[in-house]
Structure 1
Amino acid sequence: MVKTYYEAINWNQIEDQVDKATWEKLTEQFWLDTRIPLSNDRDDWRGLSEIEHTVVGHVFGGLTLLDTLQSQDGAEVLRKDARTPEEIAVFNNIQFMESVHAKSYSSIFSTLNTAEEINEIFDWTNHNEFLQKKAEVVNQIYQTGQPLEKKVASVFLETFLFYSGFYTPLYYLGNNKLTNVAEIIKLIIRDESVHGTYIGYKFQLGFQELSHAEQEKFQDWMYNLLYELYDNEEKYTAQLYDEIGWTDDVNRFLRYNANKALMNLGQNPLFPDGTAENVNPIVMNGISTGTNNHDFFSQVGNGYLLGRVSAMKESDYDIGRNNN
């Protein structure tokens, strides 16, 4: 018999059923920005003030940078620490969709902004002090951290740091404005929900293998990292939103999502006021509103009714957990 040099992936013998469940969830949720009629939002866009235009542009510029980081570095480093071949396949999917996310913002820019405005957005994004700092902090962990540290950095980015930007389109959606732009954001949030939950689950598997003393030491590191990121995020949020008067509301939304990130990692929440009840109800209405664009992509065929698939719930991961 010839010695095995390279093993074929066998999806009929699954070591961790969560890998299969996540793969199926992500492929069911597949979407592309080109299927969404962004041009239908131009009338809403023309009705917004100049400061609102600036806020939206800078918000989406920041989100583009973070999704670029995830697509170019985040998924790549996590894949190297995979436990199973199916997990590698899941991260291949995640990496591609992060690229779709990053590209989607450029579709929004090309629809709503002039070439001069687009150049300003990317110049601001690539030179913003607080935006660059959070990218540097996260990427330093990606490049030099231990496997569990990389997973924490990824979950903090996916479930927490994105949300200073997500607030804006959700606010407009809650006010029935820029609804097609917001559909893209809701699709991205739906993907990020699965990514954050899945990576958090993989973190918990490794964390449970640590001794009690190692867990306590790691938790100190984790919470210190969250404090560092939150401090920077407050400054970033103030810079984005002070002029429009949304800073306090956005910070409450951030604390809510920081707690969600910790819960994805199996940890206790940090912020006492980080609950849904303390988030602007207009934003919560935006994030929970069902899609309303022609039964969601019906104009491009029934295949895109897949957009109705909901984000991964915690109960979806009951399969594969320790049952002892």
Structure 2
Amino acid sequence: MVETYYEAINWNQIEDQVDKATWEKLTEQFWLDTRIPLSNDRDDWRQLSPVEHDLVGHVFGGLTLLDTLQSQDGMDQLRNDVRTPKELAVFNNIQFMESVHAKSYSSIFSTLNTAEEITEIFDWTNHNQYLQHKAEVINNIYQTGQPLEKKVASVFLETFLFYSGFYTPLYYLGNNKLINVAEIIKLIIRDESVHGTYIGYKFQLGFNELSKPEQDKLRDWMYDLLYSLYDNEEQYTKLLYDEIGWTDEVNKFLRYNANKALMNLGQNPLFPDGVAEEVNPIVMNGISTGTSNHDFFSQVGNGYLLGKVAAMKDTDYDIGRPQSD
């Protein structure tokens, strides 16, 4: 018999059932931006002020940059430290969908903006100091960090750093404006909910294998990183939202999602006011119909009736919260 050189992946032998469940969920909720009628939002767009136009453009430019980072470097690095071949397959799926997310914003730009405006958006994005700083911080961890540190960076990016940008379309959705643009954002958030809980689960597996001193050291690093990212995010939020007057409300939303990122990692929340009740109810109503968890993404939505899929709850991959020291 020939000695095995390369092993075929066998989905009939599952080492971790979470890999299979996540693969099935991600493939069931597959979507593409080209199937959403963005042109129906042009009338709403014309009614927005120039300040709002700039805000929407810059917000989506920033989100494009972060999704580009995640698709080109983040998933590529996480793929190097998988426990099972099925986990690698899941990361392949996630990497592709992050590219779909990044491309979706360009579909929004091409529908709503002129060529000159699109050039300005990408120039602003590629030279904004706060955007570039958080991209540099996260990518440095991807390139030089330990496997568990890379997972922390990924969860912080997807469950926290995106949300300064997500606030804007969710606010408009809550006010019945830019409905189809917001539909794309809801689909992206639904994906990120699965990504964050899955990668957080994989982090928890490795974290629970560490000694207590190693856990304490990693936990201290994690919270220091979050503090640093939050300080930068406050400055970014101020730049984006001061003129329109939403800065304080967006910061509450950020603290809420920072706590959710920590919960995905099996850690205790950081911000005492980072709870759903503190978030602008218009924003929460834009994505929720009576619950404050990410499990409200229960269907694709009016713009994309391909199938109905429940998203991950925060507790789906919670394999043990730390005890208070």
* TM-score range relative to shorter protein: over 0.9
Cα separation, 2, equivalents of 1:313 and 1:44: 33
RMSD: 1.6
In the alignment, which residue of structure 2 is the partner of 1:9?
9
Equivalent runs, 1:125-144 vs 2, <5 Å? 125-144=125-144
In the alignment, which residue of structure 2 is the partner of 1:301?
none
Equivalent runs, 1:1-324 vs 2, <5 Å? 1-288=1-288, 296-297=302-303, 304-306=305-307, 308-317=308-317
Matched residue type, 1:196: G
Deviation at residue 316 of structure 1 after TM alignment? 4.0
More helix by percentage? 1
Cα separation, 1, equivalents of 2:62 and 2:203: 26
Alignment gaps of 5+ in structure 2? 290-295, 321-325
Query: Which whole-Å deviations, capped at 9, do the CAs of 1:54-102 have from their partners, x for residues lacking one?
Result: 0000000000000000000011100110000000000000000000000
Alignment gaps of 5+ in structure 1? 299-303
Cα separation, 2, equivalents of 1:203 and 1:317: 10
Cα separation, 2, equivalents of 1:294 and 1:213: 44
Deviation at residue 11 of structure 1 after TM alignment? 0.4
Q: In the alignment, is the contact (CA less than 8 A) between 1:297 and 1:305 conserved in 2?
A: no
Cα separation, 1, equivalents of 2:216 and 2:146: 16
Secondary structure of the corresponding residue to residue 188 of structure 2: helix
TM-score (norm: length of structure 1): 0.94
> Which runs of structure 1 show a deviation greater than 3 angstroms over 4 or more consecutive aligned residues?
314-318
Q: In the alignment, is the contact (CA less than 8 A) between 2:187 and 2:300 conserved in 1?
A: no
Matched residue type, 1:90: V
Q: State the identity %.
A: 84
Deviation at residue 311 of structure 1 after TM alignment? 1.6
Secondary structure of the corresponding residue to residue 157 of structure 2: helix
Cα separation, 1, equivalents of 2:212 and 2:171: 43
Query: Which whole-Å deviations, capped at 9, do the CAs of 1:246-283 have from their partners, x for residues lacking one?
Result: 00000000000000000000000000000000000000
Query: Which whole-Å deviations, capped at 9, do the CAs of 1:132-167 have from their partners, x for residues lacking one?
Result: 000000000000000000000000000000000000
Q: In the alignment, is the contact (CA less than 8 A) between 2:263 and 2:314 conserved in 1?
A: no
Matched residue type, 2:306: L
Deviation at residue 305 of structure 1 after TM alignment? 2.7
Cα separation, 2, equivalents of 1:222 and 1:140: 15
Deviation at residue 287 of structure 1 after TM alignment? 1.5
Matched residue type, 1:305: L
